[in-house]
Amino acid sequence: MSEAGNGTTDNGRRQFLIGIGVVAGGTAAGLALRPWLVGAADVGRPPADFQPHAFVRIRSDDTVTVIIGKSEMGQGVYGSLPMILAEELDVDPTKVQVEIAGVDPAFNHPFLPAQFTGGSMSVMTTYDALRRVGAQARAALLAAAADQWNAELITLTTDNGVVRDSRGRSLRYGALVDAANRLSLPDPTAITLKDPSTFKYIGQPQRRLDSPIKVTGSATFGIDVMRPGMLTAVIARPPAFGARLRGFDATAAKAVVGVVEVKAVPSGVAVIAQHTYAALRGRDALVIDWDTSGSKQLSSEGLRQEWRALAKRPGLVGKNVGDVATAFRSATRSIEVEYELPYLAHACMEPLNAVAEVTAEGCELWLGTQSQSQDARFVAEALGIALSEVRINTLFLGGGFGRRASAVSDFAVDAALVAQGVGKPVKVMWTREDDMRGGYYRPLSFNRVKAAVGADGMPVAIHHVTVSKPVLANTAMGKMAVTKEGLDPSTIEGSADMPYAIPNLRVEVHNTREAVPILWWRSVGHSITGFVTNSVVDELATLAGRDPYEYRRELLKEKPRHLAVLERAASAANWGMTLSAGHFHGIALQESFGSIVAQVAEVSVFNGKARVHRVTCAVDCGLAVSPSQVVAQMESGILYGLSAALDGEINIEDGRVVEGNFDGYRVLRLVDSPAIDVHIVTSGGPIGGIGEPGTPPIAPAVCNAIFAATGQRIRRLPISKSLSA
């Protein structure tokens, strides 16, 4: 990204404004609840604006607008990112307007040639740039005031949107817009940033800015977009992975009142109608001949059996420290165990959807996406038009968790192809079943682990073989990330580089190629490796007859940051103290996305059901830019991971996904939701992510507690399937 270069936004783009303000006394007055201007005329930029960079705009009425290129899927970027810029600009972040950016290279991810939200990197990758842009804008306003007053720059200062001088004069930022526009911009690299010890907002609690529109139902998600003349479509999608369309009879479907058109598209047969209900009824009435012969053999149970055998054979070596074979010979006691994790759906609360309109000028899309640039590229390819002819409007995302960063832009391409030739905008709706059965899961994972302790009870060796379909290799990032031998770093992240001191460690991988589409799922490899390694370390502690917490302390004694996080979680949870009758503690720690998270789960088991009462979490994410969001994301990550650990499971039979909706794919509900305490550990380390790192430790923390409670070691998730009655 050109750090503070003059990236400017497309002037004629439809500007989606979220009026944001703090609600005083419970009234909505002053909320600026501007409806999303979907379908409204383009709002141009009046010349009076001062826009030194694509990220910020100051209007003569003092309105400061921060333009955010990251997608808001719940993780709070519309709060944390404006705060960073506002800090250096010296304005109250709760008063700034947030505008959702269009697609522009100015908003590209610094490590990728694309606009992309993922990898828990929004704050860490924009922190410096946003600060510089804010500081540059402030410097320009100061220079403008100095000019106006004919004063020495050094005598001027700012104070929450106002420039002041030593003689008591003051000018609002808005009053300096014209003057600032006439001066050339100060060199952003020459500007001194604030000393962090003087921060007014960064590091302070701040409420979310998007609450007012989200509690009144007025926030516009992709699924809520309405365009003039818009039609709604659903697609009859293949019933099994690899199934092919042989033919279909649309007579009955077309007879359904409200159905406008039925047509084959690459992803199935689209029924286009006046509204969702007609589209659904039309789809029900379709007669389709699918060829499912190619998928008959595919089942998750079958894969499991195959992979169990495969895991006994040598794989690609992902890590080899010391010599495990020799170490095992000298070991005192050892275990040889299998750990299994199921396919998981992301199950975003908002099912997938997208609105597309294809005209002679190109294709315009309205959707909640984490991956704008790639969506645009795939849509251009699918329609055979130029990239510059695709325009993407990002809406609020009703959850993302990785699913809305599709490796193939399935939901964007779908919509574009359905809309092509219709002459009207079309919303393609995915029902819950379409979404859940449409593929792109966390991979099924089979792990065989041999581990041993020496005479002192401490680990001497771990040999871990993983069998699963590699995630990055199946995305555009594969080219950059996967080694020429085929080693995908996402398969071994968190196991090959686990923080625990293991003198001899060998990690091997078998890459599989089953027809089930897989994708990154909140925390990617870490939710898998975190479960396996933290469970195995617990097994070794048991083998050694040691307390699992004390054992981990010993294994982390060379890692002060990890140790501090572990100790904080344990002491806050009162580890080792007496709990309520029947309650037991389990602990786990995982480093992911630059942050270290430890969790202690307090669990009881009754009649074969595990109940999690409380989770105590400690996190070191370097600088907590927005501590409120750090806490919220830990809670979110924990409950997302807990839901999966307790009940999450996608099964495949005859190439078909068994679970279709929340009746079969059970997710956590309020009654089973534990109390959560989050403690932020300040280490002064570099900024880490927060959207994902809360997820990996929860499954092993809970399973370790179940072991403490029952003596049963859960080696296959979900827990509800494995726990004996």
Partner 1 sequence: MISLNINGVQREVEADADMPLLWALRDILQLTGTKYGCGIAQCGACTVHLDGQPIRSCSIPLSAAVGGRITTIEGVANGDELHPVQQAWIELDVVQCGYCQSGQIMSAVALLEKNTNPNDADIDMAMNGNICRCGTYPRIRAAIKRAAEIKRGGKSA
As a dihedral over the C-alpha atoms of residue 277, residue 280, residue 284, residue 288, rounded to 10 degrees, the angle is 150
Cα–Cα distance measured from residue 198 to residue 653, given in angstroms and rounded to the nearest whole number: 60
Task: In angstroms, give the least distance from the CB of 74 to ligand FES.
Answer: 5
Which of 218, 571, 720, 722 is close enough to bind partner 1 by CB under 8 A?
Answer: 218
Amino acid found at 36 = W
Residues 6+ apart with CB under 8 A from 195: none
Task: Choose the contact partner of 441 out of ligand FES, partner 1, none; CB within 5 to 8 A by kind.
Answer: none
Q: 264 forms bridges with which residues in the sheet?
A: 269
The verdict on 349 binding ligand FES (CB under 6 A) reads: yes
Element holding 270 (H helix, E strand)? strand 268-273
> Of residues 271-290, which lie at the interface with partner 1 (CB under 8 A)?
275-277
Q: Which stretch binds partner 1 (CB under 8 A): 80-88, 113-121, 393-401, 531-539?
A: 393-401
Over the window 356 to 395, marking each residue x when it contacts ligand FES by CB under 6 A and - when it does not, the resulting string is: ----------------------------------------
Ordered DSSP codes for 542-604: HHHT--HHHHHHHHTTT-HHHHHHHHHHHHHTTTTS--STT-EEEEEEEEETTEEEEEEEEEE
Given the complex with ligand FES, which of 399 and 691 has the nearer CB atom? 399
Tally the C-alpha atoms within 13 A of residue 339's C-alpha that lie toward its C-beta.
27
| Beta-strand relationship, 157-158 and 97-100 | unpaired
Segment holding 706, helix H or strand E: helix 698-710
Cα–Cα nearest to 54, from 72, 67, 42: 67
Question: Is there binding between residue 74 and ligand FES (CB under 6 A)?
Answer: yes
The residue (of 40 and 349) whose beta carbon lies closer to ligand FES is: 349
Of the pair 20, 541, the CB lying nearest partner 1 is at: 20
CB of 76 to partner 1, least distance (A): 7
Which is nearer to partner 1, 352 or 714 (by Cβ)? 352
* Region binding partner 1 by CB under 8 A among candidate stretches 48-56, 372-380, 574-582, 667-675: 667-675
Candidates 461, 570, 639, 680: give the one binding partner 1 (CB under 8 A).
Answer: 639
Considering only residues 221 to 280 of the shown chain, the ones binding partner 1 according to CB under 8 A are: 221, 223-224, 226, 232, 257, 275-277
Task: Say how many residues make up the chain.
Answer: 725
Q: What is the DSSP letter of 174?
A: G
CA–CA separation, 25 vs 29, rounded Å?
A: 10
The pair of structure tokens assigned to 517 is 């589409």
Select 350 or 567, whichever has its Cβ closest to ligand FES: 350
Residue 550 vs residues 161, 530, 570: alpha-carbon distances, Å: 52, 19, 10
Closest CB to ligand FES: residue number: 349
Q: Between vectors from CA 688 to CA 683 and to CA 689, what angle results, nearest 5°?
A: 140
Site map 333..362 versus partner 1, x via CB under 8 A: --------------xxxxx-----------
Q: Smallest distance from the beta carbon of 399 to ligand FES, in angstroms?
A: 5
Q: β-strands 459-468, 504-511: how paired?
A: parallel
Q: Does 399 bind ligand FES (CB under 6 A)?
A: yes
The CB-of-477 to partner 1 minimum distance in angstroms stands at 24
* Closer residue to partner 1 in complex, CB, 74/238: 74
Nearer to ligand FES, 137 or 668 (CB): 668
Which residues bind to partner 1, rule: CB under 8 A? Answer: 23, 25-29, 72-76, 207-208, 210-212, 214-221, 223-224, 226, 232, 257, 275-277, 347-351, 396-401, 429, 431-432, 628, 632, 635-640, 643, 661-663, 667-671, 673-676
Which residues bind to ligand FES, rule: CB under 6 A? Answer: 74, 349, 399
